[in-house]
Amino acid sequence: MCVTVAAAYRSAVRRRHHPPLLILAALLAVMLSVGCQVAPRAGGAATVDDGGAGAQTEVTRPDDDAAAGDHVASGDADPDGTAARPPVTLPPSCAGLPLRRLAALVLVVGMPDVTDPADPLVAELSRLGVGGVFLTGYNVTSATQVGALVRALRTGPAPAPLITTDEERGRVSSFRTLLGSSSSPRTMAATLTPAQVRADGRRLGRSLADLDVDWDFAPLADVDDGPATGVIGDRAFGSMPDVAGRYAQAFARGLRDAGILATAKHFPGHGAVPAGIDPHSRKVLSTASPQQLRTRHLSPFERLIAGDVPVVMLSHVTYGHLDRRRPASMSPAAYRLLRDMGFDGVAITDSVGMGAVHRRWKFPAAAEQAIRAGADAVLATDGTQARRMRDRLVDAVRRGRLRRRRLDEAAARVLALRDHPHPCLR
């Protein structure tokens, strides 16, 4: 029954028909009612106590020494269900890239406290050929300095890394020192029309483009009615699915108008988390029932997917009705749900240095688990881990834990974000 329902949904998507939310709800209800979730297998990751330590504490577990999760033998079905969809292939100019370069392309990494273009980490990331570099407020002192930093990052082999940042408006703003303060998304939705929010997104996008930024980790499509200072709080546009979806879509379209890639986050919805529980430091369990997930939390994402948002970020929240053992960012079930909603862009994890992931998987193991589960890009704010993460992915392919076609597909999607027919040529 699980295969039949999922196949019917994928068939509708291949006919370029995005099923409306009511159909999605019905399909998901059937899938959940008959147990369409990832069942535990032998050799999986150990359960760990999430109490006490901070987000950057590394805890060695069997996953770190083996396959970072459930082993995928060469005869198994792809964990993300890619076999049921048309293959995503590398562009001709990138077809000859060596395995090490492809593995680097699926990594998007930060540079803690780096502002100097001559910093050794800048040269390291340029040589590795990572797919993206994440700039935060710790990388910003002036527009001239940011420009020099970006030019240094782009001196390596083609394709140059995409430059991404976190500009949500309100309290999450990597470039506040240059762009100034702004109202929170919650306040914007309460005081502005969607057209005005789109115009604001367009202005922001133009400012980011002037700073050589390509990609913004915004907007939030989460539905949240909790305290403004909560983990999501006033970062969300609204407490009602329709409001959150309409305003998030308007903001994403504004970014697109300015040529900036938008990111819908945090799939499949971060708003169903008890107040005060933060995935930056510990495991987080969603309180959403299957019905709440269907009718409340997925709705804004469906709107953004139908509007062709190019990137969706997966949360580190564990949704027991999808996968009892793994957070969404590491769960094949979550990626299958995203693809069955018609999304064929880049699926990226939230930062794997956050405690909800990092207390269970070290950076290299998390990269392997995420790509095997169905991610196309892995975000890590600590770029000093990039080489180890790349090498782990290469080893996983060579030893048969990760199919080469899965890595090729992920790299192809990241390459497709570049508006260039031949991204691997200078």
Q: Which residues are catalytic?
A: 280, 350
Q: CB within 8 A of 203, min separation 6: which ones?
A: 254, 258
The residue among 212, 206, 141, 153 whose CA lies nearest residue 178 is 141
d(CA 93, CA 101): 13
Side-chain-facing half-sphere of 6: CA atoms under 13 Å: 22
Q: In whole angstroms, how far apart are CA 342 and each of 11, 35, 219, 291, 334?
A: 10, 22, 19, 20, 13
Angle made by CA atoms 336, 363, 73, in degrees to the nearest 5:
50
The residue among 113, 153, 87, 91 whose CA lies nearest residue 416 is 91
Cα R_g (the chain), whole angstroms: 20
d(CA 307, CA 345): 12
Contact 149, 212 (CB under 8 A): no
The residue among 181, 407, 172 whose CA lies nearest residue 266 is 172
Instruction: Please give the full DSSP string across 349-370, using - where no structure is assigned.
Output: ESPTTSHHHHTTS-HHHHHHHH
**Eight-class DSSP state of 295:** I
